[in-house]
Structure 1
Amino acid sequence: MQTSAVTDLAHTHAHPVHWLATATAMAGVVALAGLLQPDPAGATAAPAPRPAPDAATAHYPLDCGGAPSKIAQRATGDLDGDGNPETVAVVHCEAGSGTPPSGIYVLTHGKGDGKGSGTPAARVVATLVEPSQQKNVTTFAVRDGAVRATLLGYSSPDVPSCCPDQREQVSWRWRGGTFVRTAQSQARAV
């Protein structure tokens, strides 16, 4: 007759309190493991894009002879593909009468404070239309990474400033570190 080497030990018999203690301990281990999970490799949250620069905080290269400048139109969009919007502003000198020529300026965030607001002041990084070109801007938009505008101008100095006689639709797109201008249609008489 063979005898078994296993003895009958009292602590090998499970009682309900043992099962309850084991279940509680396992639940604690699972919960702790869930809290201590490592971050997924390469899954970092992208930083939120900055808000568009505030056109009112920029200093424009206009000579208004002591008169204030006026932001006639503004639009925002990501023009250089960096994920942050730029602001494009159509600005002219505030005249008592007549139609002063406009400038079109591309703005980005500058350093320093924008009029005490805690946000960086906008700075001009590109001039698309100089006021010295004697153009007025009618339609204006930023779409699909491009600035689009309709420019009114003059065929000669003899044309009265009230009545531009040329119209041109143009766009600018950021390419190779500069804004490239494209005429969408040939200049034509108004």
Structure 2
Amino acid sequence: MAGQDLLHTQPRPMHWLATATAISAVVAAASFVQPPDATATTSHNATTGGRHPSAAPDPGKVTFPVDCGPNRLDVVKKASGDLDGDGTAETVAVVRCHTGAGSPPSGVYVLAQPSERRAAPRIVATLLAPAQQRSVQTLSVKDGAISAAVLGYSTRDVPRCCPDVRKSLKWQWKGGKFVQSELPAAVSTRRA
């Protein structure tokens, strides 16, 4: 009856389902990982009032208000352009804590060059804080507007590995502040 001793080693459909689910989760998580030096597309405002455009602020010289514990903070995307129409370039930086797997939440910050050239750039606006638990997939600056594709979660029950909501967000300088709008309506990425 040696064959009966090995019955527990026979794969069952539930084993295959569990294996397929685990592999899918790993593949999905890997698709969110991007190298820390990834950059986004940029467009420069053609009208600078006859002045030479200033150099865009370097996010590598900024201390961001993000606590990564023992991990380093990565600038994963950046885009520059004149966002407020003053003829100087600002930089939009997407940052997140470094990780070997998964996709930690992103922070999106607008940086401006201080009047003193030797001083470090300063953060002038927080568009998306890491506490909002969103991951930025794309970033661009065009005609003074900031656009980003952002992944998130519909409920707290959705596993943090698998965002199920995608939004296209836009920020534009109006009335002395950045105003956010959503383009188009949110689309669920979860499959039935």
TM-score (norm 2): 0.69
Task: Name the CA distance, whole Å, in 1 between partners of 2:60 and 2:95.
Answer: 11
Q: Are positions 1:152 and 2:151 aligned together?
A: yes
Task: Name the CA distance, whole Å, in 2 between partners of 1:162 and 1:134.
Answer: 12
2:185 aligned partner, one-letter code: Q
Do the aligned partners of 2:146 and 2:170 also contact (CA within 8 Å) in 1?
yes
Counterpart of 1:58 (choices 59, 62, 71) is: 62
Do the aligned partners of 1:166 and 1:187 also contact (CA within 8 Å) in 2?
yes
Task: Name the CA distance, whole Å, in 1 between partners of 2:169 and 2:52.
Answer: 32
Task: Name the CA distance, whole Å, in 2 between partners of 1:177 and 1:100.
Answer: 31
Task: Name the CA distance, whole Å, in 1 between partners of 2:137 and 2:96.
Answer: 13
What does residue 141 of structure 2 align with? 142
Q: Are positions 1:99 and 2:93 aligned together?
A: no
Greater shift in the superposed pair: 139-148 or 102-111: 102-111
Pairing 1:1-190 to 2, within 5 Å after superposition: 46-110=50-114, 119-190=118-189
Do the aligned partners of 2:165 and 2:186 also contact (CA within 8 Å) in 1?
yes
More relative contact order, 1 or 2 (CA 8 Å, 6+ apart) = 2
Do the aligned partners of 1:86 and 1:107 also contact (CA within 8 Å) in 2?
yes
Secondary structure of 1:162's counterpart equals: coil
Structure 1 unaligned blocks of 5 or more: 1-44, 113-117
Q: Shift of residue 146 of structure 1?
A: 0.4
| Identical residues among aligned pairs (%) | 48
Q: Shift of residue 46 of structure 1?
A: 4.5
Task: Name the CA distance, whole Å, in 1 between partners of 2:141 and 2:113.
Answer: 18
Give the greater-gyration-radius structure (CA). 1
Q: How many residues align?
A: 141
Task: Name the CA distance, whole Å, in 2 between partners of 1:101 and 1:122.
Answer: 23
TM-score (norm 1): 0.70
1:58 aligned partner, one-letter code: V
What does residue 12 of structure 1 align with? none
Do the aligned partners of 1:52 and 1:87 also contact (CA within 8 Å) in 2?
yes
Do the aligned partners of 2:51 and 2:87 also contact (CA within 8 Å) in 1?
no
Do the aligned partners of 1:74 and 1:87 also contact (CA within 8 Å) in 2?
yes
Secondary structure of 1:67's counterpart equals: coil
Map Cα deviations across residues 74-101 of structure 1 (whole Å, 9 max, x no partner): 0000000001110000100112321100
Flag as ranges the 4+ runs of structure 1 deviating above 6 A.
Answer: none
